[in-house]
């Protein structure tokens, strides 16, 4: 996710082809304690913003070459995060609505006072800071759902997503599949290759599982060498094929040091449970899939077991 780092002082550009008006705006902003750059038309403003990426631009509505509304639209089309305050001597409700819809933060009509300019600038700075904090909260919220080693979702995310899938399936009267996946003989792999290669293998499997799934499937590291996948909308009839695809994909993958294992390759065992055939809650579904996984490990590894239907 993009993170906007706060600056010590906001960088501001004033755009107006009338030197007298421009000087009044600039002086009003400087009195408030902020540094200001200036230019006389929209085309130059775009060029300067590409070079400096201003926090916000104060622009006249009528400019030579490119008007204020076009400037706003060009800034938004370029995915710029620069905010815009529009000032104009030809104010109308239609103009104001058009500017705000295009993405302007504020709309001031001439003649304006020094206080009005300063209040608009302070509001813009406060708005920007609130937005930055919201983005930062969202960044750390998402980070708390990611497993640092593999880059896929973690157990916390899985638990929340599983609860949401149960509610959705109940609402839509649909089904979904949960796969619990455990790496066979992983302790032995670590002992013979070292934990660094073990971590590399975990990351490799996480990447492989992610690439083998659809964008809306839920892929997570459950803990240790155990992974989980939720396939929304899939039913019991899909389970054998989905699990087999994952089993074969990992068996066919090459892992550094797997030749030191008794089987000569790194494999996984998979337990499968379906909602609502095998369980009616997320926790119960995990228990069912884990029980099936244990049975797959107990009966020879590198295989799939599907949970028994609940009564």
**Is 94 one of the catalytic residues?**
no
Q: Which residues pair with 218 in a beta bridge?
A: 230
* Encoded tokens for 84: 């815009």
Q: Rounded distance, CA 310 to CA 290, Å?
A: 14
Cis check: omega of the bond before 125, within 30 degrees of 0:
no
192: its two tokens:
């013979």
Long-range contacts of 49-53 (CB under 8 A, 24+ apart): 49/13, 49/75, 49/80, 49/82, 52/11, 52/13, 53/11, 53/80, 53/81, 53/82
Rg (CA), the chain: 29
- What is the total residue count of the chain? 311
- Residue pair 272/234 in contact (Cβ under 8 Å)? The answer is no
Q: Which of 106, 165, 225, 277 is catalytic?
A: 225
Q: Among all residues, which ones are annotated catalytic?
A: 225
């Amino acid at each position: 996710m993009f993170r906007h780092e706060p600056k010590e002082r906001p960088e501001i550009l004033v755009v107006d082809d009338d030197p007298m008006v421009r000087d009044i705006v600039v002086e009003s902003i400087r009195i408030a304690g902020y540094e200001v750059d200036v230019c006389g038309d929209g085309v130059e403003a775009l060029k300067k913003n590409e070079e400096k990426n201003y926090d916000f631009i104060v622009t006249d509505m009528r400019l030579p070459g490119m008007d204020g509304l076009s400037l706003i639209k060009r800034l938004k089309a370029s995915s710029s995060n620069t905010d815009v305050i529009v000032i104009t001597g030809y104010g109308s409700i239609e103009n104001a609505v058009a500017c705000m819809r295009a993405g302007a933060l504020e709309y001031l009509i001439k003649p304006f006072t020094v206080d009005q300019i300063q209040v608009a600038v302070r509001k813009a700075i406060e708005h920007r800071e609130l937005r930055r904090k919201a983005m930062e909260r969202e960044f750390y919220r998402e980070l708390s759902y990611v497993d640092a080693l593999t880059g896929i979702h973690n157990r916390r995310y899985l638990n929340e997503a599983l609860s949401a899938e149960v509610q959705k399936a109940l609402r839509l009267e649909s089904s979904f599949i949960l796969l619990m996946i455990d790496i066979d003989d992983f302790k032995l792999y670590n002992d013979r290759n070292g934990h660094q290669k073990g971590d590399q293998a975990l990351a490799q499997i996480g990447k492989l599982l992610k690439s083998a799934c659809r964008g809306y499937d839920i892929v997570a590291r459950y803990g240790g060498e155990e992974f989980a996948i939720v396939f929304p909308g899939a039913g019991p009839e899909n389970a054998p094929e989905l699990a087999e695809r994952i089993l074969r994909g990992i068996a066919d993958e090459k892992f550094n040091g797997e030749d030191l294992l008794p089987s000569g390759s790194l494999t996984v065992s998979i337990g499968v449970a379906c909602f609502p055939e095998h369980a009616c809650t997320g926790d119960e579904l995990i228990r069912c899939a884990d029980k099936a996984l244990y049975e797959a490990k107990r009966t020879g590894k590198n295989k799939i077991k599907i949970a028994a239907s609940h009564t």
